[in-house]
Amino acid sequence: MAKGIREIKRQIKSVQNTRQITKAMEMVASAKLRRAQEKAQAARPYEEKLKEVVTSIAAGSSGVSHPMLETRPIKRTAYIVITSDGGLVGGYNSNMLRKVMERLSQHASKEEYGLFVVGRKGRDYFNRRNLPVVESVVELSDTPSFADIKKITSAAVQGFENEQFDEIYICFNRFINPLTQVPTIDRLLPFERAEGSSNGELKASYEYEPSPEGVLEVLLPKYAETLIYGALLEGKASELGAKMTAMGSATKNASKMIGELTLTYNRARQAAITQEITEIVAGANAQS
C-alpha cells in the first residue's frame, strides 16, 4: 500500500510540473497574440489604400490591361499554404491541411498544381506525400517582417506573370478570436476588375505618370505580395490564438487530473491508516 501511495504522489507532482509549463506557455502565447494582432491591424491601412489605387486605375481607365487582371484557361494552379513551424496549436494545422487536401483532390494529377508553403508543418506534410512543393520558408518569428517571405511571394507572383501558373490561391487560417480560426482558401490571382462604386460613394481622383499601365506594372505585383503578407500576419495571430486556447485547455485538464489524483491519494492514505489501526487492535486482542 505504501508503494501505491508513493506512486500516486509522484504522479501528482508530475502533473503539477506539467501544469506550470502549460500555464506559462498560455501566458506567453497571450502576450505574443496581442503583438501579432497589433501588427496585423497596422498593415491594413497600407493594404486598403493600395487596393483603392489599383481598383481606381483598373476600373477608371478604359483599355488598361495587365496579365494579373486577365483571366486565361486554367492549366496549372498555385496554392500558397500558411502553417506553423511547431505543434501544440490544437487543430490549427490539421484543419488547414485537411481543407487544402480536399481542394487538391479535385485535380486530376500532381502536374496540375504547385505548392508554396510557409511553415515546417505544412512543408513536411506535403513532402511526406510526395506532393509538388515549389518553394518553402520555415523558422519565421511570431512577428514576421515582409522581408522574411519576400522570396516566396515573389516566386509565386512571377510564376503567374510568366504563365507557369494560371491562377493562385492563398490558404490560411482567418483569425476571428482566440477560440475561433477559420480555414480559408481565397483566390489571389488573377484580380477581379471592380466596376466602380454602386452606392454612390465619392472616390478620390488620381493622375498617373507616366501612364496607368506603367503604374499598374509596379503596383499590381506589390499589391499581390501585400495580400500574401496580410494573410501571413492573420495566420500568425490565428496560430497564437490556437496555442493560447490549447495550452489553456491543457492547464484546466491538468488541474482536473490533480484533483482526481489527490482524492485517490487521500483515499489510499486513509485506507492505509485504517489497516494499520486494524492490525494494532488485532494484535492487542491476540495478546489479551
**Same domain membership, residue 252 and residue 130:** no
pTM of this prediction exceeds 0.95? no
- C-alpha cell recorded at residue 138: 520555415
Where the chain has pLDDT below 50, the residues are 196-200, 202
Domain count, the chain: 2
Is the dihedral angle over the CA atoms 89, 92, 94, 95 positive or is it negative? positive
Indicate whether 286 belongs to any domain. Answer: no
Both 33 and 149 in a single domain?
yes
Same domain, 6 and 109: no
Tell me, yes or no, whether 159 and 223 share the same domain: yes
- Which strands, in side-by-side order, build the sheet including 113-118? 133-137, 113-118, 77-82, 167-177, 180-189
Q: Please check whether residue 226 lies inside any domain of the structure.
A: yes
Domain co-membership, 211 together with 269 = no
Q: Which domain holds residue 124?
A: 27-245
In this structure, what CATH number is given to the domain that contains residue 220?
3.40.1380.10
Please calculate the CA angle 245-249-253 and round it to the nearest 5 degrees. Answer: 170
User: What are the pLDDT digits (tens) for 213-232?
Assistant: 777 888 888 888 899 999 99
Q: What proportion of the chain, given as a percentage, has pLDDT over 70?
A: 91
Question: Rounded distance, CA 177 to CA 75, Å?
Answer: 37
